[in-house]
């Protein structure tokens, strides 16, 4: 993570994802080969998220490991019934980790308690991405798509004490049927934010310099108005539930798509799809490869949720959740949703 002077004359460390330790093909192959290393935890979800059918968990994201050793997960849930409201919720996992990888506890899985749930004026919040705050602080920002009703990407400030606090909407003019996807990362000194839909077949790209996006380089000081339109570009991604930017050991950037096949079936095979990305000029290639990922037996599946995290070591972690909450939690918990997290190695 590089540094730049802040407005007070100090050094600002702007957030950026870590590159994978291996080229992307090898890193994904290692996740598939090391399927026995996958771990499981529970999120303390609610009974209303267990009905099945068209209402389901739709997006998953996780934080970096905070200074107290905790990892926080964020989940969106859709409710497309008449008058339904989707939700955004946050959970704190304080259990054991190996590096930043959450670990299974036995005989009962650890339950990450729910810290907050926000009911949205949106039936289908379909994707989300977590961006850490500056200077490795225990804070960050959650960007979510509001696909069916509002047609915007919305940002929430977040820290463990205050929880999720509405920051605002990304200024843009998007048509109905989207945005379905959101991705965000720093490339050089520029942050690129993409809002895309398979229905449209294109992505609206915005960009902001780090010093403009984080004026003053202090917690909670993200300036959404710093994003400026870069244009609309073809979006060849198909079948994915979530799409995220990832950088590998060669310095190349890709879009990582999480796909279950057939769509909507939590017991079908799961795939991580890779699309090449360049930024100047911006372009996304057709699918370059697809890797069969083996989650633990059960109903976790990329058909509804899929996310990733790269540790400072370069180890890749892929995660997914149940499609619906189940009444199987231990202790005082009731309706829970299992999260599986699969590492590329045991390092």
User: Is 6's pLDDT higher than 80?
Assistant: no
State the alpha helices, DSSP H only, in the chain. 24-33, 210-213
The answer as to whether 242 is a domain residue is: no
Pick the range with the lowest mean pLDDT from 87-96, 103-112, 297-306, 327-336: 327-336
Q: What is the pLDDT of residue 2?
A: 44
pLDDT exceeds 80 at position 25: yes
Indicate whether 262 belongs to any domain. no
pLDDT of residue 333: 84
In a domain, 284, yes or no: no
Residue 9 has pLDDT above 70, yes or no: no
User: pLDDT digit string (tens) for 123-155?
Assistant: 999 999 999 999 999 999 999 999 999 999 999
DSSP assignments along 33-47, one per residue? HTGGG-EEEEE---G
Domain assignment present for residue 123? The answer is: yes
pTM for the full predicted model:
0.95
Asked whether residue 100 is assigned to any structural domain, the reply reads: yes
pLDDT at 156 over 60: yes
Domain count, the chain: 1
| Residues 178-189, mean pLDDT to the nearest whole number | 96
Q: Has residue 248 been placed in a domain?
A: no
What confidence score (pLDDT) does residue 10 get?
Answer: 65
Q: Is 288 left (phi over 0), alpha (psi -120 to 50) or beta?
A: alpha
Residue 90 included in any domain: yes
Range of the domain at 169: 14-235+294-343
| Residue 73 is assigned to a structural domain of this protein | yes
Please name every residue paired with 256 in a beta bridge, in sequence order, or none if there are none: 244, 274
Per-residue model confidence as pLDDT tens digits over 207-234: 999 999 999 999 999 999 999 999 999 9
Q: What is the CATH number of the domain that holds 130?
A: 2.115.10
């Amino acid at each position: 993570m590089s540094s730049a002077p802040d407005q007070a004359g100090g050094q600002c460390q702007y957030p950026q994802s870590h590159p994978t330790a291996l080229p992307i093909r090898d890193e994904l192959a290692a996740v598939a080969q090391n399927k026995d290393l996958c771990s499981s935890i529970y999120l303390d979800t609610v009974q209303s998220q267990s009905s099945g059918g068209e209402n389901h968990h739709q997006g998953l994201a996780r934080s970096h490991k905070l200074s107290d050793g905790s990892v926080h997960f964020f989940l969106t849930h859709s409710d497309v019934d008449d008058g339904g409201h989707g939700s955004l919720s946050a959970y704190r996992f304080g259990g054991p980790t190996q590096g930043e990888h959450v670990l299974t506890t036995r005989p009962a899985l650890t339950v990450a308690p729910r810290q907050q749930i926000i009911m949205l004026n949106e039936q289908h919040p379909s994707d989300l991405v977590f961006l850490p705050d500056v200077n490795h602080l225990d804070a960050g920002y959650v960007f979510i798509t509001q696909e069916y009703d509002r047609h915007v990407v919305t940002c929430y400030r977040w820290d463990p004490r205050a929880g999720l606090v509405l920051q605002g909407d990304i200024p843009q003019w998007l048509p109905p049927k989207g945005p379905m996807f959101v991705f965000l990362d720093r490339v050089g000194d520029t942050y690129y934010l993409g809002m895309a839909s398979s229905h449209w077949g294109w992505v609206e790209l915005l960009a902001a310099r780090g010093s403009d996006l984080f004026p003053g380089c202090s917690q909670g000081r993200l300036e959404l108005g710093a994003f400026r339109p870069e244009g609309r570009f073809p979006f060849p991604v198909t079948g994915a539930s979530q799409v995220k930017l990832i950088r590998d050991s060669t310095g190349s950037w890709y879009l990582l798509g999480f796909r279950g096949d057939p769509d909507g079936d939590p017991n079908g095979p799961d795939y991580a799809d890779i699309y090449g990305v360049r930024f100047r000029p911006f372009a996304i290639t057709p699918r370059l490869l697809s890797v069969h990922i083996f989650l633990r037996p059960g109903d976790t599946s990329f058909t509804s949720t899929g996310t990733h995290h790269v540790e400072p070591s370069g180890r890749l972690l892929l995660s997914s959740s149940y499609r619906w909450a189940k009444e199987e939690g231990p202790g005082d918990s009731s309706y829970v949703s299992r999260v599986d997290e699969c590492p590329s190695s045991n390092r």
